Amino acid sequence: MTVYFVFRDSPDRRAALAAPGALDRYRLFGLDELRAKGIDVRHNLERDRPPLWARALATVLNAVLRACGGYGGDFASVLGSRRDANRADVVFATADTVGIPLILLKRAGLIRPPVVYTSIGLPERLVQLRNVSMRRLYAAALRRAAAIVVYARSEADWLRTWLASSAPDVVFVPFGVDVSAFAPHVNGTADVDVVSVGADPRRDFGLLTSIASRHPELRFGIVAASSHAFGPLPPNVAVERDVPLERVRERLAGARVVALPVRRNSYSGATTVLLQAMALGKPVVVSGTDAIVEGYGLEDGVNCRLVEPGDEQAFERALLETLADPQSLGVRARETVEPNLSWGRYTDTISDILSAACTPERT
């Protein structure tokens, strides 16, 4: 089997590709593990950038889609790698940014192999389609996927309903974490009371800094992306931006409690950091968004604290209660993740889905 990975292009992902054995190879969605199984794996970031003709055509296609009420993506990368993709047995779209162009080109007959589409917030994109014609076009294109992989059970239910008849397999696959790289033995001395980490725009850091302002006796650390905007910060809050994963692990390991407030949405539950912190045996207080309340084995007060998104008082209460007795919650967090949410389990599931997609497509 030959699998062609199509990645969203980003500096972090290119850095991971250039560093075999790096901690953040999880950004490659199982490429290493498939290759270790003897599967021939290639990807769209093997060249520095798409050719000029692909970039020019992508500009036109995205402009036309927007004008017609549609939603575009990285057509340049997909068009520039189309010849290589068509030599594969199956194409794996790892994000919506490249997945939408792939399934539209598949619908047009320009992508021949079966496509496995990974949805990370696809419902938010589909509700932006501005007319019936565009909704029909995108539904028809998505139905040509061999399978749609989602990381939230609620998202799977939404997509099955939206696609209705002739929907492809929509498969809920819980994300995973390397339980060896993120293990309690890497813990150092907890020197910060509360640590929060996240690059996703759905992170509610404002809620956390508001809580921090009322508790000057506690030390807070935030690791965020450069795109996150912060107003004036209380003196007990330290912010770092765009740090490597090795340092993120250090920050999580040095926390008494990990706090992950997230605004309400269908796809983001701070899932990656949540699993990393739980694997480290850390007690976690997290917003109970639709993305994580089902399918990850989370139980409020048992292996984490789940708080209604946006409820600052409830989050503050759960945080203070957890700080008062952090040990048992952290132990049960590790016990939940290790057997059920490992990286090996995740990559084996992805491998099985890709293998199944190589069977003849339905008409």
Is residue 187's pLDDT more than 80?
no
Helices (H) and strands (E) in the chain, counts: 16, 12
Strands (E), 144-184: 147-150, 169-172
| Structure confidence by residue, pLDDT tens digits, 153-174 | 999 999 999 998 788 999 999 9
* CB 258, CB 252: distance < 8 Å: yes
Determine the pLDDT at residue 328.
Answer: 84
- Hey, what domains does the chain have and what are their CATH numbers? 2-176+344-357 (3.40.50.2000), 184-341 (3.40.50.2000)
| Interatomic CA distance for residues 85 and 41, integer angstroms | 11
Which residue in this structure is represented by tokens 């007690």? Answer: 283
pLDDT above 90: residue 132: yes
pLDDT for 235-280, tens place per residue? 999 999 989 999 999 999 999 999 999 999 877 779 999 999 999 9
pLDDT at 190 over 80: no
C-beta pairs of 58-61 under 8 Å, 24+ apart in sequence: 58/101, 61/101
Res. 354: pLDDT tops 50: yes
What is this structure's pTM? 0.92
Count of CB atoms situated within 10 Å of the CB of 222: 24
- Give the separation between CA 363 and CA 358, rounded to whole angstroms: 14
**Residue 134 scores a pLDDT above 70:** yes
Per-residue confidence (pLDDT) for residue 363, from 0 to 100 = 37
Q: Is the pLDDT of residue 362 over 60?
A: no
**Tens-place pLDDT, residues 297-352:** 999 999 999 999 999 999 999 999 999 988 889 999 999 999 999 999 999 999 99
pLDDT digits 0-9 by tens, 72-113? 999 999 999 999 999 999 999 999 999 999 999 999 999 999
Q: Which residue has the higher pLDDT, 103 or 190?
A: 103
Tens-place pLDDT, residues 20-37: 988 999 999 999 999 999
